[in-house]
């Protein structure tokens, strides 16, 4: 009887923590849109096509977030770029500027407008 209780408690802990993880990795595209408009639109554009109002002035042109090159990247790859930036380019790091949750939110907005291109 005691063993069943312990196993039951373990199941609750494992299940509970996986649910919690499932919730934290999900971004909110609505919040993400507001974050995008404030932090990314001037370069990446309102259509996510890399033609934002500031893009003309940059030597390295902002990435077209609608392109198949971006759509075929994983969430993780894009998050690393948003977090770390791209060396020697105007795409600076957003770590410290945006929270992890805000970066997930903005990623989920990008994915909603420009869905991932899953290679099968
Ligand atoms: C000052 C202009 C500027 C701002 C602001 C900016 N970016 Fe960028 N971004 C760039 C440039 C330029 C590149 C392309 C770098 C390259 O080609 O090597 C880029 C690249 C990227 C990439 C990589 C695409 C790929 O091919 O992997 C992602 C993702 C991205 N930006 C997302 C964002 C997000 C999200 C924000 C807002 C939180 C943002 N950027 C803000 C200029 C900007």
Number of other residues whose CB lies within 10 A of the CB of residue 96: 7
Using CA atoms, how far residue 18 sits from 9, 14, 94, 111, in Å, is 14, 6, 28, 23
33: CA distance to ligand 1 center in Å? 15
Answer for the pair 64, 49: CB distance below 8 angstroms, yes or no.
yes
> With a 6 A CB cut-off, is 93 part of the ligand 1 pocket?
no
31: CA distance to ligand 1 center in Å? 19
How does pLDDT run across 2-55, given as a tens digit for each residue? 766 665 555 455 554 444 554 446 899 999 999 999 999 999 999 999 999 999
- The CATH architecture to which 28-113 belongs is Orthogonal Bundle (1.10)
Domain ranges of the chain: 28-113
d(CA 41, CA 113): 13
Helix, strand or coil, per DSSP, at residue 71: helix
- Nearest-atom number in ligand 1 for the CA of 42 is 5
How does pLDDT run across 44-102, given as a tens digit for each residue? 999 999 999 999 999 999 999 999 999 999 999 999 999 999 999 999 999 999 999 99
25: CA distance to ligand 1 center in Å? 21
Q: Read off the pTM.
A: 0.84
């Amino acid at each position: 009887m005691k063993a069943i209780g312990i196993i039951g408690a373990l199941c609750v802990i494992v299940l509970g923590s996986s649910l919690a993880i499932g919730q934290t990795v999900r971004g909110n595209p609505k919040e993400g849109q507001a974050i995008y408009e404030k932090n990314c639109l001037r370069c990446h554009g309102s259509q996510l096509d890399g033609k934002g109002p500031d893009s003309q002035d940059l030597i390295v042109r902002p990435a077209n977030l609608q392109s198949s090159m971006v759509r075929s990247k994983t969430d993780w790859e894009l998050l690393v770029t948003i977090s770390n930036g791209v060396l020697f380019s105007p795409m600076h790091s957003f770590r410290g500027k945006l929270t992890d949750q805000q970066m997930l939110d903005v990623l989920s907005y990008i994915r909603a407008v420009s869905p991932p291109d899953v290679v099968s």
